[in-house]
Structure 1
Amino acid sequence: MNLTDLTASEISALDRDATVVVVPLGSIEQHGPHLPVATKCFLSEAIAFAAAARLRSEQLECLITPTFPFMPCQSSSGFASNFAMAARTYSDALYEIGSSFCRDGFKFLYFVNLSVSPDAIKAVSVAVEDLNTLKGFRAFDPIPLWNFSPNEELESFMRQRGVDPANEIHADIKETSAAMHLDPELVRGDLLAGLKPCRINTAWEVLKGNFSFQEMGSTAGYLGSPALADPELGRLYIAEAAFALAESVNYTLSGNDLPELPLQIRMLLKMVDLDEM
């Protein structure tokens, strides 16, 4: 269900035990020369609605809010056309949004966050921690765990095309394929063939103290192989992310906590001070 399509009385009538709130998030951030700055907004919303369709078949409704944009995006610093809130401001705003649903009687809220920028992940994580102090309310941010975990279906597809999944990070083959799947006009197809692969060992770059894509060596704002994009990979990407979101909803509704992020990501997030971003 789309929140903005409903009347106040229709929202009041929703069964709070069978309805979860889903809040897609997205940056307004450069995605190379070939993708719109709102790419992550489009993808997060598509994933939210695809997950909702899966859950509806299990008699669980998702109340999907408008996508909340302007995520922090320090990873793209140095490139033009990044429009963002400060990390603390964004985190506080998410808390206020979640609190309003808590006051209205909702019990579960899920953010859809595709960002790999540490300041964005930390901002959402802090908001989730704060929201989970509210009585009778639980909030979760499940997609980063999916993002940083192996995915056999996606990785097999990429390896069959000579692509190392570890190099596909931002405005890459996955995001470009997903945008192509959603709407081919989102992708500047006339530019794709001229985009050479940008293969960077991001883990090594972070160890060297390079945290932005530009510091890591990206010259055009993307990390990966967007020229090899395929709408079938995009369809698979959206489907796999939606499955992960739906499974996370079912898992947490059963009283479980989500697994922690990988150790190296947790260590990186400890270095992020929201008030300095």
Structure 2
Amino acid sequence: MKNPYRWDNLTSPQIKKLSEEGAIVLVPVGSTEQHGPHLPVGTDALMATAMSEKLAAALGEKGVPCVVAPTIAVANSTHHMSFAGSLTLRPETYLALLRDYCRSIASHGFRKILLVNGHGGNIAPTNTALISINEELGFPVYFTGYWQASAQAEQEILETQKGMIHACEEETSLVLALDDSLVDPIYKETKGKPGHGSPMLDEGIWETFHRMEAHTENGVMGNSYAATKEKGEALTKRMVEDLAEKLADPSIWEQKV
């Protein structure tokens, strides 16, 4: 069934019309990487896509035109490559991909672009890429995790964590709400280490690159055993509402580079 909010479901004239209407373009940016013994390797791409499509529909209900570009499903996952099923781009390849992607969208007249992230490992290279992207395009391309506007909801709904980690209570709940057939029942018996094992790193005093096996044997950070479909549904609803409210504010698109 045709989805009117998906770029790849539309005709060229329909996309041109959206550009002329000043539509927002959402670009889901995920990853393909291990998510422990219970979640699919496509979790980050699946969630970034699903949240973007729900967000586009919510904005449409507010009278704000919006379209979801094809998902970037393989990104920066070098730190997961010791686990089977993980795929990655080199950081320089990922940066070039983002530049070309945003350049292509802008070439059709779009001036409102938001990269909707589903993977923490994308944060550092994406922020680096935005320096040259924004300088070249002359307007700010924005970047956010689909969960980042909803810290209060996370505090209210999650029971064993404060926020998103990896294959954890929150992420497992979200995938259960999206499609519970994607989640192996072993999640009910699974937990992982939530931090790095170093106070300096855990408290953010300094940062470094390290691979996942440096602090988790099973690829999980957080408590997947505490996940429920109901938590995922509640989180999804709040995340979509919170992001839609913020994106509907026209002032964000009036900012200068």
TM norm structure 2: 0.86
- Report deviation, 1:192: 2.0
Paired position in structure 1 for 2:73: 69
- Residue 67 to residue 222, structure 1, CA distance change in 2 (3 Å): same
Show structure 1 runs of 4+ deviating over 6 A.
Answer: none
SS of residue matched to 1:165 = coil
Instruction: Report how far residue 232 of structure 1 moved.
Output: 1.6
1:194 equivalent among 186, 189, 194: 189
CA positional deviation for 1:153: 2.1
Identity in percent: 25
Distance 1:105 1:210 in 2: 38
Counterpart in the other structure of 1:164: 161
Question: Cα distance, 1:256 vs. partner?
Answer: 4.3
- Cα pair 1:199 1:224 within 8 Å, conserved: yes
Q: Are 2:178 and 1:174 equivalent residues in the alignment?
A: no
3-state SS, counterpart of residue 177 of structure 2: helix
Paired residues in the alignment total: 248
The CA distance in 2 between the partners of 1:196 and 1:122, in whole Å, is 26
Q: Is the 8 A contact 1:115 1:121 kept in 2?
A: yes
Q: 1:46 touches 1:238 (CA, 8 Å); kept in 2?
A: no
Give yes or no for contact 2:191–2:220 (8 Å, CA) kept in 1. Answer: no
Question: What letter is aligned with 2:153?
Answer: E
- Give me the whole-angstrom Cα distance separating, in 2, the residues matched to 1:55 and 1:100: 23
Give 3-state SS (helix, strand or coil) of 1:23's partner: strand
Give the alignment's Cα RMSD to 1 decimal.
2.5
Please give the residue correspondences for 1:143-162 in structure 2 after superposition, counting only pairs within 5 Å: 143=145, 146-147=147-148, 151-159=151-159
Aligned to 1:22: 26
Q: Secondary structure at the match of 1:169?
A: coil
| In structure 1, distance between residues paired with 2:213 and 2:238 | 29
The offset of 1:155, in angstroms, is: 1.6
Q: Quote the Cα distance in structure 2 between the aligned partners of 1:248 and 1:143.
A: 13
Q: Is the contact made by 2:19 and 2:108 (CA closer than 8 Å) also made in structure 1? A: no
Residues 213-254 of structure 1, C-alpha deviations (whole Å, 9 max, x = no match): 3212x1100101111111121112323332343244234545
| 1:140 Cα deviation after fit | 0.6
Once the two structures are superposed, the pairs formed by residues 246-257 of structure 1 within 5 Å of their partners are 246-251=244-249, 253-256=252-255
Which residue among 212, 215, 218 is the counterpart of 1:220?
Answer: 218
Structure 1 gaps, min length 5: 259-277
Bigger drift between 77-86 and 105-114 goes to 77-86
Which residue matches 1:134? Answer: 136
Report whether the alignment pairs 1:95 with 2:99: yes
Taking the aligned partners of 1:196 and 1:14, their CA distance within structure 2 comes to 45
Question: Which deviates more from structure 2 when the two are superposed, residues 128-137 or residues 15-24?
Answer: 128-137
Once the two structures are overlaid, the 10-residue window that deviates more, 8-17 or 223-232, is: 8-17
Shift in alpha-carbon separation, 1:73–1:247, aligned structure 2, 3 A = farther
2:89 is paired with a residue of what secondary structure? coil
Asked if residue 110 in structure 1 is aligned to residue 107 in structure 2, the reply is no
Structure 2 residues without counterparts, runs of 5 or longer: none
Query: How far, CA to CA, are the matches of 1:233 and 1:67 in structure 2?
Result: 25
Q: Which residue of 2 aligns with 1:45?
A: 49
Q: Which residue of 1 aligns with 2:126?
A: 124
- Measure, in 2, the Cα distance between the counterparts of 1:246 and 1:219: 38
1:263 alignment counterpart: none
Task: Provide the residue aligned with 1:183 in structure 2.
Answer: 179
AA aligned to 2:41 is V
